[in-house]
Chains A and B, each alone.
Chain A
Amino acid sequence: MNIKHIGWITGIVAGIVVLFGPRPLLASDDAPDEVAELAVRIDRHIAAAWETEGVVPAPLADDAEFLRRTYLNLAGTIPPVSEVREFLAETAPNRRRRLVDRLLDHPGYVNHFAHSWRLLMIPEADVDQQVRFLAPSFEGWLRDKFIDNAAYDDIARELIACPISGNEREGPVAFYRAKNVQPESVASSVSRLFLGVQLDCAQCHNHPFAEWEQKEFWAFTAFFAGIEGTPLGSVSDDSTRREIAIKGGDTVVQARFIDKTKPKWAGQARSREVLAEWITDKNNAYFARTGANRVWAHFFGSGIVNPPDNFDESNPPTHPALLDDLAVAFAAHDFDFKFLIRAITASETYQRSSRQTHASQADQRWLGRMPVKGLSPRQITDSLMQATGIYQQTNLRNRAFNVGNNGSLEAQITSLFENQTASNVDPQTTILQALALMNSQFVTQQTQPNSNSTLAAVLQAPFLDREGKIEALYLAALSRKPSDKELSRLRTFMESKPDEKVGIAQRVIQNVLSLGQRTTLQSSAQEKALADIYWALLNSSEFLFNH
C-alpha cells in the first residue's frame, strides 16, 4: 500500500460526495452533517458488496435491540431498567443518535474503551504474573486519555515516544515494562498495534509468507535500540541510538521505517520521537487504516481486515474501498475517536438486526445481518452486576484497580471467559462457563430473593401483577419486554405452581425474625417460580452474547 494512494482516494471520495450530495440521516441542524455523510457512504460500500455477493440484508434492529447493543459497545454493560423503559418510550426521530451522544459522555465509555485498548496493548497482563501489576496504572493512563477525548495519533505518539527512566511504572512506560523492556518485543507490538503488520516471524528468519526479511525487522527494531531495564526494576533509554545488532550475530543494522525508507535525522533527534512522527503522520496509510479498522472491529466483532494486526496480501480487506474511506475520514477529522464512532453507529449497517431472515446472511463477512458476538469478561461481569442490581454499589472510577483481587467475581469470570482469539464473532461457550453460570455462588445468591434485595423488591412489589413482575425481570436481564408468546408460556408455568399467599403480618414477622439471624426466609412457590424464570434469563445465550 503506497502512501501516495491516499491522495487519489481522497479525490475520489470527495468526488462521490459532490456527485451524490449529503443526505443527513437524523441531524437536526443545517450545517453539513459529516457524521451522517460518512454513515451514508459506509452503507453504500456495504450495499455494493451485497450486490456482488448476492446478499439480501436483514431489516433494521428495533429500539430494544439497538439500545442493548449500543450500551454494550459504548459503555461496556447492558442498560439499567430505567434507561430501557425511557428509551423504549421515546419517539423523537433522532433518538438513536442522541443515545450515542449521551453514551459518549457516560463514564462507562471511558472505562470500556480504556479497558479494550489496554487488552490490545498489553495482553500479557492477563497471563504473566509479573506484568499484572502494571495493568491498573496503564489502564489509568488510558482512562485519562479517553476522559480528555485524546486523539488516536496523540495517544500513539505519547506511547511510542514516552520518557523511559528510573523506576517510574505508571503510565505509558508500563507498555515497555510489559514487553520486558526488550527492543524486539516492543517493535513487534508497535508494528502490530499501529501499523497492522506482523513482523514477528522475521525476527529469526525471513518471513515465510509476507515480504519482510530478517534485516527489515531489526532495522525497525533499531528505533528502540536504546531501551534497557527489567520489568519491575529500573529502566533507561539511550534515546539517540539508532542502530542495533541482530540477535545471535554481529550484523549491525541502521534504523529504517517499515517501508524501507530512511529517516531524516536532525542532529540529536531522539529515535522514538522520529518514529512516532512517521507512524502518526496523516499520510501514513498503515496508521490510519489500522486505526479505523480497529474501531470498526470494536462494533462489528471483526475488522474489515481480520485479524486486525495482520494487513497482508494473504489477508485482504473484505471491503477495501470502505476501509480507505474510513481511514481518510478518520485522518481528516484529526483522528477523533468520537467522530468515527458517531458515524459508524449512525449507519444502517450498524443498526441492522442480528436476526437472520435470509440464508445469504449466514456469511458474516458481508454484514447482511449484525453478527452475534461474545462479550469480554469485563462486559459479562458488569452486565451481571447490572442485571442483578448490584452495579450501583461499585465505584465506577475504581474499575481498573480491581484486577488484583483473585477471588473477585471479575477474576473468576476472566479466567472462565477470556478470549485469546483475534475476533469475538461466534464465541465458543465451554462446559466450565455453563457450570459457573448455572451453579456458582454469585448466580445462586443473585437468584435467591433473600440474598438479592433488588430481586426481592420485584417479586414482592404490590403494584406489579404477575405479568408486570415477569416484564420487570425481562427488562433487567434482557433489556426488552417479553413477547406475548413468552408471557403466555411463563404464565402457564407459574400457574402450575401452588399459589399460597403470604400475608403482610406473616411477612413482617418473617422479616423481623430474620434480622440479625442467618436464617433464610421461605419464599413462596410463586416467588420461587419467578426466581427460576430470572435464573433462566441470566443463563440464556441472549444474555451472554452481544447481538
Chain B
Amino acid sequence: MTRRQYPQSRRTAGRPISRRTLLQSTLGCTAGALASSWFPAFAADAAADPRRQRACILLWMSGGPSQMDTFDPKPEHKNGGGLKTIETSVSGIRISENLPHVAKWMQRMAIVRSMSTKEGDHSRGTYLMRTGYRPQGPIQYPAIGALYSKELAKEHRDLPGYISIAPFRGFNASAYGPGFLGPSYAPLIVGGNGPARVNDQPTTSLRVENLSLPGDVDTVRHDDRLSILSDLEDDFTASRPGNAVSGHRSAYQNAVRMMRSESIAAFELDDEPDSLKQKYGLTDFGQGCLLARRLIERGVPFVEVSLNNAAGNGNSFGWDTHQENVSRVASLCKVLDPAWAALMEDLDSRGLLDTTTIVWMGEFGRTPRINRNGGRDHFPAAWSSVLAGGGVQGGKVVGQTGPDGMKVTDRPVNVQDFLATLCCCMGIDGGGENISNVGRPILIVDPEAKPIKEIIA
C-alpha cells in the first residue's frame, strides 16, 4: 500500500500551479482550461491560512431518507403526500416544510435531485454509497471516510483521521471499515453501536471510554508496561508476520497517542455553553454534530454523524419509513433540521465553513407513490443528496425528477459522479491510487466519473 506524501499547504501557496490542481483540471473538476476562475480564489484561500486543514463531515441518514419529504417535494402531485414547501434563502429554490432552519443556509448548499443508483437493498445500498462500489468479488473497498481521510490528513495526528459518531453498522459492517487500506485507517467509533435507540435525553454516550490510565499507574509505569509489551510483539511479529499482528500494534500505538494527546478534550461536550448545546438539539444526532465541529476544529479530516432514530418513531428503523412516512420523517427532521443548521452556523462563525465540506445522504431514496401503510419503500432510481460548505457552489439545484418524482428527467448522477464531485470540492487528487487487497491499483476517483462542475466552487 503506497502512502503518498500530502503536500503542505504552505508550499502550495508559493507555487503558481500545483500538481494537484493540474490533475484536477485533467479529471474535469474545472470548467475550462488551466487558467480557470476558481484557481486564484483557491490559492488566495490557501495563502490566507496556510495551515487550514480541508475536512469533510458526512451526515449519514441510515435507512434511506425520503426525498419527497425533504429536498425534492412535490406539493402539486398526490405523491407529495400533502406536504407543503417553504422558501429558502435562495429565491427559486423551495424545499419541504420539514426543514425550516436548513432552508436559511441554502446559499451554501447544492441539492442534487437526480441521484440514480441501482441498489435498493439496505446492505448493498449502504455499501455502494459509502464506498462508491457495489459489493462484489474479492476487493474490500474502503469506506470514503477511510479513503478521504488518508488523503486529507497531515502527517502527525493525535486523533484518528476518521471518526464515526453513533453509526449503525448492522446493514453492512464492511461499509464502515478501512477495507484494503488496512487497520490503521479504521474509524474511531464513538457512541451508540446498536440499532435505533429511542433516546432524546442529553447524551453522555459520545465519549471515548478508557482514555485515562488507572489511578495507580503513572506514565513512567505505563512506559515500562509498553516496553515489555513491545518486546512481546516484536517476537510475535517475527514468527507470525501479517495483518493481524501489525494491526494490533498499530491500534495500540494510536491508542497511546490518543491517551497522551491534548486533543481528546474534543470529547468534553460539557465545555460548550448550554445554549449552544440546546441549539444543536439534545439528541444523539444533535450532540454528535456539535462533537463533529469540535473534532474538525482540532484537525480531524473526516467525521461522520449518523441519524438512526427519532423519539416517538416506535420500532421503525431510522429513515426506513415503510409505514407512516409523513409523521416519522417529520420527527426525524425535527432532529436533523436544528442540528444541521446549527452546525453550518457554528462552522461559519469560526471561519471553518470554507474548508469543511458537508455531505448529506443515505443509502437510497424512497418511493414517490405512498404504499398501503402510509409509507414509502426503497427507491434508488431517483433520489436526492446534498453537498454544502467548503468548495461547494451554493444556491444550486442539479437535476429534476418530473412532476411525479418517478424518474430522473434531467442530469442523472450516479454514485461515482457524486463522489467525484465531492473530491473536487475538497481538493482531493482523484488520480491518486491505492493498492487493493488483490494487488490491483484502485484510483481514488473512477476515471469514468463525471463530476458536477456547476456546483464546484
- Residues in A lying within 8 Å of B, measured CB to CB: 127-130, 200-201, 204, 208-209, 314, 354-356, 362, 372-374, 415, 420-421, 426-436, 438-441, 444, 448, 486, 489-490, 493, 520, 528-529, 532-533, 535-537, 539-542, 544-545, 547
Contacts and interface: CB of A to CB of B under 8 A. Distances in A.
A430 B162 CA distance: 12
A424 to B, nearest CB: 10
Interface residues of B, number: 59
25 contacts: A209-B136, A355-B239, A356-B239, A362-B242, A420-B169, A420-B174, A421-B173, A421-B174, A426-B243, A428-B251, A429-B244, A429-B251, A430-B186, A431-B160, A431-B251, A431-B258, A432-B208, A432-B209, A434-B251, A440-B210, A448-B216, A493-B228, A536-B226, A541-B244, A542-B232
Contacts of B231: 486, 489
A128 B256 CA distance: 33
B137 A314 contact: yes
A428 B228 contact: no
B228 A435 contact: no
Given A128-B195, A129-B195, A355 B211 contact: no
A490 B228 contact: yes
Contacts of B174: 420-421
Contacts of B235: 486
A537 B254 contact: no
B251 A536 contact: no
A435 B209 contact: yes
B177 A428 contact: yes
A541 B248 CA distance: 7
Contact of A127 (B170, B208, B214, B247): B170
Given A415-B193, A432-B210, A535-B225, 7 more contacts: A128-B170, A129-B197, A356-B240, A421-B173, A434-B255, A536-B229, A545-B245
A436 B243 CA distance: 21
Given A201-B121, A354-B240, A541-B245, A435 B232 contact: no
A429 B183 contact: yes
Nearest to B250: A429
B42 to A, nearest CB: 34
B191 to A, nearest CB: 11
Nearest to A132: B194
Nearest to A538: B229
Given A127-B195, A429-B251, A200 B121 contact: yes
Contacts of B209: 432, 435-436, 440
Among A427, A431, A435, A444, the one with the most B-chain Cβ atoms within 10 Å of its Cβ is A431
Contact of B251 (A130, A433, A444, A545): A433
A539 B136 CA distance: 36
B315 A130 contact: yes
A436 B228 contact: no
Nearest to B187: A430
B214 A444 contact: yes
A448 B221 CA distance: 13
B144 to A, nearest CB: 18
A129 B232 contact: no
A493 B224 CA distance: 9
Contacts of A438: 210, 252, 255-256
A536 B245 contact: no
B38 interface: no
Nearest to A434: B255
Contacts of B233: 540-541
Interface in B196-220: 197, 208-214, 216-217
B241 interface: yes
Contacts of B217: 444
Contact of A427 (B121, B124, B236, B244): B244
Nearest to B171: A127
Which of A355, A448, A493, A536 is most buried by chain B, counting CB atoms within 10 A of its CB?
A536
A428 B136 contact: no
Contacts of A547: 240
A435 B216 contact: no
A545 B244 contact: yes
Nearest to B140: A421
Leading 3 A-B pairs by shortest Cβ distance: A420-B173, A434-B255, A536-B228
A306 B188 CA distance: 28
Contact of A539 (B121, B173, B221, B229): B229
Contacts of A129: 194-195, 197
Given A428-B177, A435-B259, A439-B214, A372 B194 contact: no
Nearest to A372: B244
Contacts of A434: 248, 251-252, 254-255
Contacts of B183: 428-430
A357 to B, nearest CB: 9
Given A200-B121, A535-B225, A540-B229, A431 B255 contact: yes
B160 to A, nearest CB: 6
Residue among A427, A432, A433, A541 having the largest count of chain B Cβ atoms under 10 Å: A541
B115 to A, nearest CB: 19
A184 to B, nearest CB: 12
A537 B230 CA distance: 11
Contact of B232 (A430, A432, A540): A540
B120 interface: yes
B370 to A, nearest CB: 14
Contacts of A529: 224
Contacts of A204: 120-121
B210 A439 contact: yes
A179 B312 CA distance: 24
Nearest to B190: A432
A447 to B, nearest CB: 9
A344 to B, nearest CB: 22
Contact of B247 (A373, A428, A493): A428
B90 interface: no
Contacts of A128: 170, 195
A486 B221 CA distance: 20
Contacts of B247: 426-429
A431 B248 contact: no
Interface string B107-133: 000000000000011001000000000
B189 to A, nearest CB: 7
A518 B411 CA distance: 71
A136 B226 CA distance: 39
Contacts of A421: 173-174
Given A438-B255, A539-B229, A355 B224 contact: no
Nearest to B193: A415
B240 A355 contact: yes
B153 to A, nearest CB: 15
Contacts of B210: 432, 435-436, 438-440
Given A127-B195, A201-B121, A428 B186 contact: yes
Given A535-B225, A547-B240, A435 B121 contact: no
A33 B102 CA distance: 74
Contacts of A439: 210-214, 259
Contacts of A533: 228
A200 B172 CA distance: 14
B333 to A, nearest CB: 24
Contacts of B226: 536
A421 B213 CA distance: 32
Nearest to A490: B228
Nearest to B258: A431
B221 A532 contact: yes
A415 B210 CA distance: 14
Contact of A426 (B120, B189, B194, B244): B244
B254 A540 contact: no
Contacts of A544: 248
A436 B160 CA distance: 17
Contacts of A433: 251
Contact of B242 (A127, A426, A536): A426
A129 B193 CA distance: 12
Max count, chain A CB within 10 A of own CB: residue among B170, B183, B209, B228: B228
A426 B173 CA distance: 16
Contacts of A130: 315
